[in-house]
Structure 1
């Protein structure tokens, strides 16, 4: 192998004994010269006895040991010292770290206000709600006669806007003041003089009730029976219609009665045999109650059957974990482990009529799953892998029925947020919100401390001990992303 030791003269500098292998193209030598001089190869002009060295061939340049080459070219300027000193993650403040990792803003605990903070963060996870709040034009009334619905809605709007703009924790002072004025029970003081801990689901219920009165849907022209400017956003996006049938068990001749109940969350009662959320929900479809019987003219046993006749886009489910313990005069907590899914199918909770309407969207999901499974199987049999899809639009199929904005047209849901409680009673302990951003990315909102977590961490919130237990779950619609129908070409494994 013809390797020579050559000298290279560059201005006032000289590089001695530079290895030069003529079996390799000249660009290799130029790369060595770049390392020595800082002159980029494309800016180098290397000559020997008038012959200019090319990049890919030696041409007329004949080398030998001790030969001298002449190089011309200007080196790049040395990089300047950064104006701002590099800060490593371990040296960052919490605020700097939050900005670097794009961590959203938390809410400051103003003294046992974690129940309120966690509720707000979970409700903020509904993007359509935050958009609708921004369009609300009402004002906060701090003096005189307070309008709870107006003030709570305006304060919620202002807080959501502040949190979006800020890169640090927000103290929700105005919202807390409005909440206390509108609902004095939340301003109760503890024996130590500070604010007493409150039940987060009670706070959730009151806030949603206020928003239900004031946050409206945008007007939609030509929508049959759909949203108008007077339609409630909460009714459309969080409202559940439950078809209830009551049948007297002691008077066969008494005809059954049917009615529609409007709900804003489902309840999962944690009975002894309940190990999974779906079982707790299904058990409430059939129950026995006692009520006055017109036929018998006395109280009698009735069978109450419930089926969902309308599903909302966002489904709230409360785990009924607290019960009144008379002996200790507290709302004691049921710590039982009840599993909940990341993906929820509510089909069997629905009326036959609604199930029939859900079929169209469910068929689309099934077709997509079958097509993807078939492609994967073919690729596996061919010993190849499917490429990562590079061209898939973010456009999605509608998740709502055409004539019912804000509804769910498939019965499929994905977990959006979890409100948890840690402790032994509703009047003590600590509340935290766990909110999904995308994919497997979640954030734990522990007041002003916001931490990235995964779905695996979220699934550990099912209960069974003194760790955080799921109390209120918020499911959002499972959406079907529109795909390019062109076939992907499998790649070699």
Structure 2
């Protein structure tokens, strides 16, 4: 009987009807207890009929319906504090103290090698349009396992928005169960009996696939652009989906080139000996040699495949192809090579001539604003100190999409907003962490520990050693903000503290 309903007793509190799935790791049950009591799993002692529950096995711990489970352990806040607390400065704080002082957002507890899932969720959470769509998702709409996974992710987003550590722990446990139901390979066990480590890129793809099926494209909320439209049916296709114009030319025979269109939800950066920068890795994938059947020759022949982007998504996902299968060890070995990536990415050169022409007007506006910024800075420097007053004016956010294609990118300019990293030598081992932008600062989301980091630390995640190195990058659209009054060419201060982030008015 893998699923049973038990009574959990902690101190004077009793929680009846707690459903337990003994096919999950015991740590998942401890996460449920954490959600009920607020006692961290590592502080829990869980006992039933005199047997103490282990973290990695249900051995000898027999649960039946209505069994009484005793929980011993105190919440951290129940530990008496010292009567006199000495003032501590930011420079002297450890990571946990700093996170509390700076009001860090919630993290997700590791349920036993689930860092790959936690890091994926934290990266996807940085997309406001996706986050809003998930929070408003109709959880009664069904949809099989894809619907269950979407519902669980919706609950997780709600918990992360301020539900507290207990709510986040319970949501993470439900999300893990939904992920296992959708893709049973993620429920594989390691040699010791616990959950095996999984590939974060595969988890990302599985979650996005489910959302693509279940999250319909939403309307644009006024007043940003009430007239804007889109023919895309899902939020994923709308904001993450791009298209490529592809041409195939046979290198061994005279035959007319073939042209077709391909869709993508992410771009790949292949890492070769010559690739030192993200841009060169992306370019190399846009022109490659492939082998396919030639109707003219009646055999396989070499073709040159040339791809150009014809539709840019608002949010561009890039995967570093760091893992390759090593037959001798039967593992996905890792390429540790250092490949630099920028905070600001321009993909204009990867686009088709037709798209480049459409991008030109918005790029010209960005150039005007950048030139005005430089000019304003020089003028301020040349003025006397008494005359150098800052002019505070409101700004108008210009939509980053084309009028007839909500969720596209109309400039080719992107800003890095999330990095998913891996530390270790194979995709089935090691540790995954999310590094996400929040305004002008960055956060490291290492499971349930969230701490501030600098841009310099993020840029050091390019690889080259055994430290964390970038595996997946998520770029968002660069947002153009113009002064409301045209006679003021440059605004030196933004009144909205969310400036720099994508507009969140989309449903």
Q: Which has the larger Rg?
A: 1
| TM-score normalised by length of structure 1 | 0.76
| Residues 271 and 97 of structure 1: CA distance in aligned 2, closer, same or farther (over 3 Å) | closer
1:462 and 2:462 are equivalent in the alignment: yes
Give unpaired runs (5+ residues) of structure 1.
1-83
1:155 corresponds in structure 2 to 152
In the TM superposition, what are the counterparts of 1:20-419 in structure 2 within 5 Å? 88-89=87-88, 98-139=99-140, 147-168=144-165, 170-171=168-169, 172-219=172-219, 226-227=229-230, 231-252=233-254, 254-381=255-382, 387=388, 389-419=390-420
SS in 2 for 1:339: coil
* Partner Cα separation in structure 2 for residue 85 and residue 394 of structure 1: 48
Mark the CA change 1:250 to 1:380 in structure 2 (over 3 Å): closer, same or farther.
same
What do the CA deviations read for 1:361-408 (whole angstroms, capped 9, x no partner)?
A: 000000111122223334445566985745232531111111100000
Question: What is the deviation of 1:97?
Answer: 5.7
Query: Cα gap change, 1:368/1:97 in structure 2, threshold over 3 Å: closer, same or farther?
Result: closer
For the 8 Å contact 1:104–1:167, the answer to whether it is kept is no
Deviation string, structure 1 residues 222-267 (Cα, Å, up to 9, x no partner): 9889336x72111010001011111111111x21111111110000
Per-residue displacement from partner, 1:85-142 (whole Å, max 9, x unpaired)? 877458999887644311000000000000000000000010111111122113497x
**1:446 and 2:443 matched:** no
Unaligned runs of 5+ in 2: 1-82, 493-507
Q: 1:358 to 1:489 in 2, by over 3 A?
A: closer
Residues 328 and 353 of structure 1: is their aligned pair in 2 closer, same or farther, counting only changes over 3 Å?
A: same
Q: What's the Cα RMSD here?
A: 2.7
* TM-score using structure 2 length: 0.74
Counterpart CA distance in 2 for 1:263 and 1:456 is 31
Q: Secondary structure at the match of 2:482?
A: coil
Aligned residues: 400
For 1:454 and 1:375, the matched residues in 2 are separated by: 27
SS, match of residue 306 in structure 2: strand
* SS of match in other structure, 1:391: coil
Higher RCO structure, 1 or 2 (CA under 8 Å, sep 6+)? 2
